[in-house]
């Protein structure tokens, strides 16, 4: 059963539980990465047999497999994918950065050049659920950015095939290639390349503890989006909120996995108690009741604060992945929110809307990292170069200042590189 407590009875750092894996994830992942680097495709196929229970002849999804999968997906769901893709494109197209040039000083040209990454790898989780939504959320911004090649890795089923919904989403999003592999070994293959798997410039997408650790270990060889942990939701709700709706929203994240965190912060003890009762009733109706119950029992909490302003303070301290403002006049509180991955405004905006259809990205910072990380965006798939041009006269006008600065830093060679042009 979810716990109810008054604010101050529990430390902030304990509200979102951070469960440390019982196994030595770091060492296991390090060994897997080294093995993939050494043995390439052979190692990948062995890991597929070990972890996914399937022996593969080919790691890449063929054109025939893709065509077969598309026939297996209902036309109605294809239409839903296309609607979601259109909304995601509309939102992310506003994020496009343009190159710029500055010519305000005589003889000086400066600018910034925005260039898309050549090849990116998208990790799409498998396991207890399929995530075609992640395909759309990760691939469409990369496509908008102008990446030349977008590849996906995702674990195969025991039949050696990828979930047809994932392949349909890949088709809608414009993904170039799809590979049948998951876990740390997939991250290693994307980072270092094998005979079959091309190495990429950046790896994005959520995954379990082994995937997160692998991304951490290959960072520097490739770029990554963020180190994502278990899913989180924090609902700030006032006494006018419907407890049935609040409970359902909390359970929508609790069903992700047993380590997920669902937290309600409210100024109403009556709402807190009603939501607790609703969670107990509704959780039994979920097909994933075992997962959701474990999440609620271990990591679920209801915090009763004195005021809604104090509830917002608690939310800012926790910097949750998902923040719902189920309050009257939610826009009155928007400027007070400083740290959250994605904010859902009002009583008719459940977090699930953002997972699938609204348009803003659902690949979000977790574990309090919303204090300094942002949602996945078009920015994640471009890099910026800067350039400078000075005429001789323009350099002459500043040469002594540059030389003085260099000498102050004890770098006479820097100073000489400027002054020698006028000797």
Torsion of the alpha carbons at 267, 272, 275 and 276, rounded to the nearest 10: 160
Handedness of CA 189, 135, 253, 373 (dihedral sign): positive
Residue 65 is a catalytic residue: no
- 109 φ, ψ (degrees, to nearest 5): -125, 125
Which H or E run contains 249?
helix 243-254
Determine contact, residues 325/39, Cβ cutoff 8 Å.
Answer: no
**Two tokens, residue 356:** 């699938």
Which residues fall within 8 angstroms of residue 68, CB to CB, at 6 or more apart? none
> How far apart, in whole angstroms, are the C-alpha atoms of residue 394 and residue 401?
12
SS3 for 197? coil
> How far apart, in whole angstroms, are the C-alpha atoms of residue 143 and residue 220?
23
**Two tokens, residue 411:** 């770098």
> How far apart, in whole angstroms, are the C-alpha atoms of residue 150 and residue 141?
11
Q: Write down the catalytic residue from 213, 232, 321, 351.
A: 321
**Two tokens, residue 105:** 């000083």
**Two tokens, residue 269:** 């003890």
In 3D space, the residue among 302, 313, 316, 306 whose CA is nearest the CA of residue 263 turns out to be: 302
**Two tokens, residue 326:** 């189920």
Residue 273 is a catalytic residue: no
Q: Write down the catalytic residue from 92, 256, 322, 362.
A: 322
Instruction: Decide the pairing of beta strands 261-266 and 202-204.
Output: unpaired
Which H or E run contains 28?
helix 25-39
CA distance readout (Å), 307 to 12, 61, 338, 396: 17, 54, 18, 63
- CA 282 to chain centroid, in Å, comes to 28
The catalytic residue positions are: 321-322
């Amino acid at each position: 059963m979810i716990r109810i407590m008054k604010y101050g009875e529990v430390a902030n750092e304990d509200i979102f539980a951070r469960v440390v894996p019982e196994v030595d994830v770091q060492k296991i992942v390090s060994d897997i990465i080294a093995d993939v680097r050494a043995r390439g495709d052979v190692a990948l196929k062995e890991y597929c047999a070990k972890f996914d229970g399937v022996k593969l002849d080919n790691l890449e999804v063929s054109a025939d497999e893709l065509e077969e999968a598309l026939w297996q997906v209902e036309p109605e769901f294809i239409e839903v994918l296309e609607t979601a893709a259109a909304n995601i494109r509309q939102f992310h197209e506003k994020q496009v950065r343009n190159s710029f040039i500055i010519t305000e000083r005589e003889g000086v040209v400066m600018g910034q050049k925005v260039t898309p990454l050549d090849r990116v790898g998208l990790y799409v989780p498998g396991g207890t659920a399929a995530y075609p939504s992640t395909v759309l959320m990760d691939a469409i911004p990369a496509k908008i950015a102008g990446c030349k090649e977008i590849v996906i890795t995702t674990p195969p089923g025991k039949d050696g095939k990828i979930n047809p919904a994932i392949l349909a989403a890949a088709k809608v999003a414009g993904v170039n290639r799809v590979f049948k592999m998951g876990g740390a070994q997939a991250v290693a293959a994307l980072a270092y390349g094998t005979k079959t798997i091309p190495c990429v410039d950046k790896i994005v997408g959520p995954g379990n503890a082994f995937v997160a650790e692998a991304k951490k270990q290959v960072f520097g060889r490739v770029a990554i989006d963020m180190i994502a942990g278990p899913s989180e939701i924090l609902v700030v709700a006032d006494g006018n909120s419907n407890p049935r709706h609040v409970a359902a929203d909390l359970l929508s994240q609790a069903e992700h996995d047993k380590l997920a965190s669902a937290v309600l912060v409210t100024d109403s003890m009556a709402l807190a108690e009603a939501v607790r009762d609703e969670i107990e009733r509704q959780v039994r109706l979920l097909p994933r009741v075992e997962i959701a119950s474990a999440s609620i029992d271990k990591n679920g909490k209801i915090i009763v604060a004195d005021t809604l302003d104090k509830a917002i303070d608690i939310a800012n301290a926790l910097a949750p992945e998902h923040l719902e403002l189920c309050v009257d006049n939610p826009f009155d509180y928007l400027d007070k929110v400083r740290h959250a991955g994605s904010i859902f405004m009002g009583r008719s905006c459940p977090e699930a809307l953002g997972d699938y259809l609204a348009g803003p990205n659902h690949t979000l910072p977790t574990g309090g990292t919303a204090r300094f990380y942002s949602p996945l965006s078009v920015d994640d798939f471009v890099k910026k170069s800067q350039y400078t041009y000075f005429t001789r006269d323009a350099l002459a006008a500043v040469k002594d200042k540059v030389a003085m600065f260099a000498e102050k830093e004890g770098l006479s060679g820097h100073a000489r590189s400027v002054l020698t042009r006028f000797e």
